[in-house]
Homo-oligomer: A and B are copies of this chain.
């Protein structure tokens, strides 16, 4: 008997930003699989098996979830934010393509979620209101040259840039290198935002400029937004500024 695999985006952190469909799936699953910090966000249910793993081998985690579903279990594989954005949906399909051909017959459903990028943007205005891109800064899986070339192309396109996975203990220099590169391409006054744990009690948001941005203010869970040359700042009395990227664009 074949089971079911749901790949679920839990949203940015707040319970009321998690889609009801995700909550229903989590209530129905026989097994919850994921990085420990994400599994912890799922309310425990009697009889439900929880498989929490380290932040390491994602392909092994995907294969584990697929194996459970192939054995007849109803598995929820959980990611933060949206499951399709630098998260487990791509990893599962990589495992399907390279794995047991029976896995192609599995009932797999991806439940989308509110991404960290959109939750962060909403807290500070509408920085992603015009053309934008999302880049993972991790060079575990791609050479730094590719990252640098993509940042350069993104600036030439006039995109606002959302940087995922800006740095980690094993990758301490990448965000600083990205800022150095971007400073050579964009005005120093370009808005930069560090957003961590958005929508949770530990939320931390810093609005600064490219000139002043200090990479040490970010960690692995920080989303970094870089404005475009068109991104505007509205200062307000007794409140943080609004940032927004206008819909209109001159030639």
Contact = CB atoms under 8 A, between A and B. Distances in A.
A84 B118 contact: yes
A242 B24 CA distance: 24
A131 B161 CA distance: 11
A220 interface: no
B133 A89 contact: no
Contacts of A85: 118, 128-129
A90 B133 contact: no
Interface stretch (A36-44, A145-153, A172-180): A145-153
A94 B246 contact: yes
Number of copies: 2
A183 interface: no
Nearest to A94: B246
Interface of A: 9, 11-12, 14-21, 24, 58, 82-87, 89-94, 96-97, 104-105, 108, 110-115, 118-119, 121-123, 125-136, 141-143, 145-146, 149-150, 153-154, 156-159, 232, 234, 236-237, 239, 242, 244-251
Contact of A121 (B84, B156, B232): B84
A90 B126 contact: yes
Contacts of A145: 251
A226 to B, nearest CB: 13
